[in-house]
Structure 1
Amino acid sequence: MSSKEEKKPDAPISSPKQSQQDSSKSSSTETSKTSSTTTTSSSSSKSTSSTQGSSTTSSTQESSSTATNPLPNLYDRFVSSFEKALSQVENEDKKPEGGLNSFSLEGIAEYIQKYQPKNVIFLVGAGISTSAGIPDFRTPGTGLYDNIQKYNLSSPEEIFSIQLFRRDPVPFFDLAKNLFMTDVKPTPAHYFMRLMVEKGHVRRIYTQNIDILEYLSGTPADKIVTAHGSHYTSTCQKCKQTYDQEWFANHLRFGKELVAHCDKCKTGVVKPDIVFFGESLPKRFHQHVTQDFEKCDLLIIMGTSLVVYPVAGLIDEVKPHVPRLLINLEPVGKGVLRYNNKASNKRDVFYEGSADDGVKKLADLLGWMPELDQMIQHEWKKLDEEFAEIKKKIETKKE
């Protein structure tokens, strides 16, 4: 359907040849009338009078009908207006299709500037937190790894087994005291997501990380879905009393006992709302995932291996025309993403590099780098001051 309809004339227009024929017929009729008048004046007068009266009446009725019955023109206008409106709706629905002029960060930047997407979804993993310096408890030779070996676990990951936690929560709290209490700050990748939120582009951030750095960056909580949970909130395993991140952090820093117990029921163990092996994904994940990905108009994937399901399968849940950007140190998701297949690729972009490097380049292409730099420096300064105050409290407690 064309978005522009040709305007139809209100009345048909005669061709020059047709006008000449009509004129000739009119002249012939007048001659015939004159001849008839000469032979039978009386009859002709009556006939002429009758003919003129009939002609006048017919002409008057036709004019009256045209003047008082504008429905044909109104109908045409209605149809034309309806078709134009329908065409605009169809164009809006197809807006992102073919939106990438190049399968590169430049193409993504141009897409954002041109279409101003409002339902961008970020899907992120551990790679966006690497530069924050979070300790790795799974690598042999590191302090955290060596520390948990005393518990004789089959693997470091067993520390996140719900069966082990219910049987003996000590190994987890021993790890948590060292893992969660380091003075880590959000990375440029975290702040880029916040900047996108503030500019009105983001629908949701789906993170597989439990480090709460998305919250710490200042991104509003309603924009974040922690697919594997986090210690942003905690829950008593007995009475279900809930606690915020500050309560849990203060316990790890200043608590007399290693394991956190509920202030309400006194005996229940308080567990961070992290999804342990053997537990279901958070309710908030299921509440938002379907509608979010149906509305998505740009998917940005950063720092994830795309091997942990069901989260990894979400990259195939956006509509077929929606662009997908992968920022990662190595190519992943080749079974679904088409960035390595020039013949079939119509929307996928792969930037090979760290999440921080990728977002900085994209921010520069968008003209946002000064804003991003200012945000990072300002927020890091605030966090340094907060960490300094916490250290003073810890030292005071030791004394």
Structure 2
Amino acid sequence: MSTKTISHVAKLLTNGSSKVILLSGAGVSTASGIPDFRSAGGMYDTLRPELLTASDKEKKLMEQDPTYVVSWDIFKTNPLPYLEVRRPFILGLHEDDIWKPTLYHAFSQLLSDKNKLLRSYTQNIDGLDYKLSIPTEKLISCHGSLATISCEGCGAPMETSTFTNLVKTQIKDIYKTDSSAPKKSTPIKCPSCSKPLVKPSTVLYGRNLPAEFHDNAQTDATAANILIVAGTSLTVFPTASLPQMAASPNMTRLVIDRDTATGFRADINIAKNPNDIMLEGDCDSVFLDIIEEAGWLEDLTKYKDSLCESSKNLLEGRLLYASKAKSE
């Protein structure tokens, strides 16, 4: 990673006129222990349809395309595979509170605190963007969120505590980590319409994105002068079209990812556009570098205890190093 590039990014961010839009994917949450669905070892890569409550035809379709498990096509007639796959995520967020924000989320918060954040678009459904104090109007969950529960049929909401208890007692544990889980899954019915379509308010494949994405994306892409794309493969549209919307001579587009090919899939190419930047590395480490170079390390400490263990340890190590360097 180029120190000069980090310095350049920090200088852009600390400029008084900087207005930033963010686009994040699963890579910004992996430090919290949430798996990256699309990478090797992620949910789609390791999906085992034979463990799910599904017909032979449904299992075959999931073998051919793992994303079928989170599609409207199967959910509308058989919601159990979705709930079985999502069970540990639902319980982890609502019951165990084992998921906490990462340094990316703290960076987003700092941008908001400094009135530099125009909007944060996330493809993640984990709800971590909402666990600090960014105003909700600045957050757009492009693919919905596990944080709220509703019926996919009639739209009626359900209390998260009620839903979590039903998931725990009615949905089997295919991951074999909960000995108290039932051996067989039974549908969770909506109290309003009696259909078994209650689920976290995530966007299934085959369903429309929230209207707020379409209402704001083009306007934000024009109003901002910095776009930061982090931890996403940019393969799912229409959210992946945001970098194209933001292509202009006055826009700096920064991609942070472990896969350098990501930037080229986003049509971001530093060989063609000097305003485009690619930083390769783990999101937590790169964002901490940027925060430190921008002089925001002290501001970050107020959120230290809200961070996941991995992010917190990384920050504490950096603070200790900075303190020693200052005293020498």
Give the structure-1-normalised TM-score: 0.62
Aligned length: 276
After superposition, what is the alpha-carbon deviation per residue over 1:110-132, rounded to whole angstroms, capped at 9, x for unaligned?
12223342x31001111101111
1:196 equivalent to 2:111? Answer yes
State yes or no: 1:169 paired with 2:79.
yes
Pairwise CA distance, 1:238:
3.6
The CA deviation at 1:167 is 1.2
Separation (CA, whole Å) in 2 of partners of 1:130 and 1:255: 28
Q: Report the Cα distance in structure 2 between the residues aligned to 1:306 and 1:141, rounded to whole angstroms.
A: 16
**Distance verdict in 2 for CA 1:141–1:229, change over 3 Å:** closer
| Distance of 2:193 and 2:135 partners within structure 1 | 31
Give the percent of matched residue pairs that are identical in Structure 1 and Structure 2. 30
Where does structure 1 lack aligned partners over 5 or more consecutive residues? Answer: 1-101, 382-399
- Give secondary structure in 2 for the equivalent of 1:111: helix
* SS of alignment partner, residue 333 of structure 1: helix
* Cα distance in structure 1, aligned partners of 2:103 and 2:264: 26
CA gap of 1:245–1:307, structure 2 versus 1, over 3 A, is same
Contact 2:26-2:36 at 8 Å conserved across structures:
no
Q: CA RMSD in A?
A: 2.9
Report the secondary structure of 2:205's partner residue: coil
Q: Determine the C-alpha separation between the residues in 2 that align with 1:239 and 1:263.
A: 10
Higher relative contact order (CA 8 A, sep 6+): 2
Distance 1:110 1:184 in 2: 32
CA contact (8 A) 2:36 2:42 kept: no
Specify the alignment match of 2:26 in structure 1: 126
Match of 2:176 in 1: none
Instruction: Give 1 or 2 for the bigger CA radius of gyration.
Output: 1
Match of 2:283 among 334, 348, 355: 355
Is 1:301 the counterpart of 2:201 in the alignment? Answer: no
| Aligned partner of 1:264 among 184, 192, 211 | 192
Per the normalisation by structure 2, the TM-score is 0.74
1:330 to 259, 271, 279: 259
Give the aligned residue type for 2:140: V
Tell me how far 1:159 sits from its aligned partner: 0.8
Which residue matches 1:108? 9
| Offset from partner CA, 1:206-258 (integer Å, 9 cap, x none) | 11111111112343322111112222333323432124655544543466975
Alpha carbons of structure 1 residues 169 and 363: separation in structure 2 relative to 1, 3 Å: same
Q: 2 CA distance for matches of 1:295 and 1:243?
A: 37
CA distance in 2, matches of 1:279, 1:141: 23
Residue 359 of structure 1 deviates from its aligned partner by: 0.8
| Matched-pair contact (CA < 8 Å) for 1:140–1:146 | no
Q: Secondary structure at the match of 1:351?
A: strand
Measure the CA separation in 2 of the matches of 1:136 and 1:379.
Answer: 19
SS at structure 2 position matched to 1:108:
helix
In structure 2, what residue type is equivalent to 1:172?
A: Y
8 Å CA contact 2:27, 2:36 repeated in 1: no
- Return the structure number with greater helix share: 1
CA contact (8 A) 1:232 1:244 kept: no
Residue 145 of structure 1: CA displacement?
4.1
Counterpart of 1:187, as a letter, is T
